[in-house]
Structure 1
Amino acid sequence: MRYAVSRRASAGLLAMAAALCQPAVAQASFDIVGLRPGMSEAEAMAALSAHRPGMRVQKRHMAYSYSDGVQQLNTPSFLYELWVSFDDAQGREDFRLYFAPPPSASRVLGVTRQLSLKAPPTQAQLGAQLTQRYGAPTTSGKSNATTNLVWGEPGKPMCWRSTPNTTVIGVGEASDILSSLKRGQDKGHVPRDPSTCGLAAAASMAGEPVRNLTVRLVDYGAWAGTHQKAKDWVEQQRQGAVKARLSRGAAPKL
């Protein structure tokens, strides 16, 4: 299944005043400045507005492509990613929010936050703050000057990839979630039904003291489930297009 991508940028400052809505799908401690998997675009924008004024937003849309055997066709485009940035006297801060594809409802699947720290804390200080916020990490590791902490959703399968030094929880188009989880199933650490996988939060602290912090939050179960539905949906579109093309076919007069 292939896809085509288009970018739509909305320049300028956005100010939105709306109540922050908490979906039932994520536990209360798993959020990034109020952002949680399961939120709609409007709910996510409200959370970001409450976090800090002066955001700049870019919207990225995507469409799946398929063939009827003669011509290339595309599904209607849909919101795939929001890029949100803040850059003022407080410093630079960037967010990426990834949304579920159709036919599922457009809801947040994962969030990445990157920020530069103007008054860099030590890794021990920041690690203590993160532990106070999220609890004791499920796993941790260090690679060169970067320390990684990861939290898994209690009572749910942990479907992310981990090594002694690093743990990878991914979001975005660079991560083929279905193929990745299939490899995990082959190795025995991903359940037969990946939609039962839990959430994962990860923090990466770079440098000593820490000058750059990256935090990610991903709902693996929703990510796998919605992308499998999208794959099945596109195949249905393809089969329907092939059937329609064949019904219109006409032999020339001989």
Structure 2
Amino acid sequence: MEKNEGEKSVVSFKNIGRDDSKDELEREDSNDDIKSPNEDDNKTKVVKSTSNLFEALHAGRPKDEEPHVKKTIKNKKEKTEYILRVDTDELGIAEDEFEDLQSLFQLFDHDMDGVLSIREACRMLNCLGFPSKEEQIKNVVGAVSIDKTGFSLSFNEFISLVSIKRREDPNQEALMQVFKTFDDGDDGRIQEIKFRQIMKGQQGLEPDEVDLMIQEYFTFTGENREEDKSLNFINYAEFVAMLQG
């Protein structure tokens, strides 16, 4: 067929000298690299920190200790969760209470490695009515922690500690010590709102149980009880005497 004058002939050199079988092989290889869109979207891995920082902060913990957290990748977002190794039913920890304790632990576990330093544990346990001094906290933590030098506290050890303390028979001296920790005015009285927090956190009582105890206290002392709880104060020496009576 004759070309018109001025018409350019276009020649493709792309496939000249190319082996068709090799071309097919390369296509197969390239297919091997193609992953399903959801293949890496959902992954779970158990993470054990090997950083120098972890060892420096929690040097008293064994290096072969089981991991405390696991990381889940879903929709390309990473989520860190604690690995629960204790039986909450056996420990008497209800599901909603467990979630509250977990949230509290997370507030102080800034690096989310599942372990608190003694200082972090001290601040967290103060929220639950435990003694405020670090030396006292070391004695408390030492009862459950595997770390006998740095007294770090893992999440599972924390759950066990809460259960143990709640099952202990309260005595007058122990209760007085707890209340004194929260006696900011050092006058032997605690605001009712703060008293409720102590009884719920330290003793593990339900709100209605605390209500009954407070009502019994005001009946016992003959004091008037205001509707505004912030205006009511509990004389904890008299409260402890009521319990022991």
Normalising by the residue count of structure 1, what TM-score does the alignment of the two structures yield? 0.23
Higher relative contact order (CA 8 A, sep 6+): 1
Between Structure 1 and Structure 2, the one with more helix by share is 2
Q: Which has the larger radius of gyration?
A: 2
Normalising by the residue count of structure 2, what TM-score does the alignment of the two structures yield? 0.24
